[in-house]
Structure 1
Amino acid sequence: MPMNGHCLCKAVTYTIEVDQPLITAYDHCDDCQRQSGSTYSLVAVVPKAALTINGPTKSWAGKGSSGKDVHRIFCGECGSPIAHDPDAAPEIIAIKAGTLSTEIKKTLKPDTEIWTVGKLPFCQEHLEKPFKHMPE
């Protein structure tokens, strides 16, 4: 069954032709903290070729730790972050898991914790084997 989701105002919808993400990660990088306005961003990493986005998106590109651009995709109407698309890993895209359909969000099982070097000191450990940066 494909995964799906939408932004806050429902102007942007998406479908992912996979049954589950490749990984579901707590992302503690500073950029994700700023984009989400929270302590981390929960992301569902999926094959980019499996994703179809419909609606008025905008994007902004900033340099990632690789030196390559990371394109942050968001709703052009309500501003909800939808995904980040790293040029350093062109085969994948990281969906902001909070935008997944409610029934799908409830079944997610985070399995990875990345960029713990940026973890805020009051955040608890989520997983036993966190990565200080990106996994190799």
Structure 2
Amino acid sequence: MPLTGHCLCKAVTYTADVDAPLVTGYDHCDDCQRQTGSTYSLVAVVPKDKLTINGPVKTWTGTAASGNKVDRLFCSECGSPIAHDPSAAPEIIVLKAGTLDTEIKKNLKPDTEIWTAGKLPFCQEHLAKPFKFMPE
């Protein structure tokens, strides 16, 4: 069953032709905190060649704390973040898991934390596979 989702206004929809994400986790980097306005971003990593996005997407390219470029995709209508596309890992794309369809995101089981170097001190939960930066 593919992973499907959409932005807040439903102008952007997507389908990832996979049964499950490669990785589901919490991204604590400062950029994700700022983009989501929260303490971290729940992310679902999928192969880039398995993802189809439809609708009015804008891209903003920034430089991550690692020094690598990251394209951040968002709906040009409502501004919902859809994904980020790290140049350091061209074979994958990182979906903002909050945009997955409700029944899909209810069944997610985060198992990884990345960029724990940016984890805010009051976030106490620890998962089995934390990485101080991106997986080494």
Q: Please indicate, yes or no, whether the TM-score normalized by the shorter chain is above 0.5.
A: yes
The letter of the residue matching 1:34 is R
Match in the other structure for 2:75: 75
Question: How many residue pairs get matched?
Answer: 136
What does the per-residue CA deviation read over 1:41-67, in whole Å, with 9 as the maximum and x for residues that have no partner? 000000000000000000101112342
- Measured in 1, the distance between the counterparts of 2:43 and 2:11 equals 21
Alpha-carbon deviation of 1:133? 0.7
Q: Does 1:106 align with 2:116?
A: no
Report the CA distance between 1:130 and its aligned residue. Answer: 1.2
TM-score by length of 2: 0.97
Q: Which residue pairs with 1:11 in the alignment?
A: 11
1:62 equivalent in alignment to 2:62: yes
Residues 1-136 of structure 1 aligned to structure 2 (within 5 Å): 1-136=1-136
Give deviations 1:66-117, integer Å, cap 9, x for gaps.
4221000000000000000001100000000000000000010001001111
Q: Report the Cα distance in structure 1 between the residues aligned to 2:129 and 2:83, rounded to whole angstroms.
A: 24
- Matched residue of 2:78: which SS? coil
* Structure 2 Cα separation of the partners of residues 115 and 96 of structure 1: 16
Say whether the 8 Å CA contact 2:26–2:42 is kept in structure 1: yes
Provide the rounded CA distance (Å) in 2 between the counterparts of 1:79 and 1:49.
24
8 Å CA contact 2:111–2:129 kept in 1: the answer is: no
Find the aligned partners of 1:55 and 1:3 in 2 and give their Cα distance.
Answer: 17
Q: Which structure 1 residue ranges, 5 or more long, are not aligned?
A: none
What is the rounded CA distance, in whole Å, between the counterparts of 2:113 and 2:55 in structure 1?
A: 30
**Aligned-residue CA RMSD (Å):** 0.9
Kindly, what percent of the aligned residue pairs are identical? 79
SS in 1 for 2:10: coil
Q: Cα distance, 1:121 vs. partner?
A: 1.0
By how many angstroms is 1:129 displaced? 3.3
Amino acid at match of 2:79: G
Looking at structure 1, the residues matched to 89 and 114 of structure 2 have their Cα atoms a distance apart, in angstroms, of: 15
Alignment check: 8 A CA contact 2:24 2:44 kept: yes
CA distance in 2, matches of 1:130, 1:72: 23
| Aligned mates of 1:68, 1:131 — CA distance in 2 | 17
1:11-52 CA distances to partner (integer Å, 9 max, x unpaired)?
A: 000000000000001000000000000000000000000000
